[in-house]
Copies of this chain bind each other. A is one copy, B any other.
Amino acid sequence: MPRTKQFDEKEVLNKAMELFWEKGFHATSMQDLVTQLGINRASLYDTFGDKEALFEAAFQLYRQTNGGVIQGLFETEPSVKEGFQKLFQMAIDESVQDGNRKGCFVVNTITELIPGDEKIQSLLLENTINYEKLFTAFVQKGIQNGEINAIKNPNEIGLMLYALFNGIRVLAKVDPNPEKLKSIMKSGLSVLD
């Protein structure tokens, strides 16, 4: 009976993600979204709700996409040291290649929307703890397979590497210099030796 949608919902959400990722929540206006997404105002509201709901959907899409990549890398990579190196190198490459200097959507959101809305705040906390566990477990795996000295504390090292990962994403926004970022990675990963 009804008229069919003239746009692909996933495609549109992807564009919204890019926009919020680049400009942040407050600096992105609904007008920006209407223009860039190429769909009508009313369709935007009918499909995704208000600005906050759309942002949250876009953020979740980012989490899902990136989280999947990292989890996949950790699961398939037999060497833990190489796994971490690949992960950091991926982040560095992304920063260096991104002409828009978007940085990391998660980091951007943490710094922009805390303090603030409680919903997004708990989402950010949950996300962080997930990543910390992922990092820690991967270090643990390295200890179990003998790659990493069993004296090391996997929790401490996992947390540290995740913090460093975030720090790199901040610095890469100011100065996307591959050599410099590689130095940081090298020195950071030396804690695994």
Contacts and interface: CB of A to CB of B under 8 A. Distances in A.
Given A26-B26, A114-B173, A174-B128, A184 B159 contact: yes
State the number of copies, please. Answer: 2
A38 interface: no
Interface stretch (A9-17, A39-47, A162-170): A162-170
A112 B190 CA distance: 31
Given A180-B159, A188-B163, A107 B111 contact: yes
B111 A173 contact: yes
Interface in A82-116: 100-103, 107-108, 110-112, 114-115
A115 B100 contact: yes
A190 B160 CA distance: 11
Interface of A: 22, 24, 26-27, 100-103, 107-108, 110-112, 114-115, 124-125, 128-129, 153, 155-157, 159-160, 162-168, 170-171, 173-175, 180, 183-184, 186-188, 190-191
Given A167-B167, A167-B168, 18 more contacts: A22-B115, A27-B112, A100-B115, A101-B115, A111-B112, A111-B170, A114-B174, A124-B174, A128-B175, A153-B187, A156-B187, A159-B180, A160-B184, A163-B170, A163-B184, A164-B164, A170-B170, A188-B191
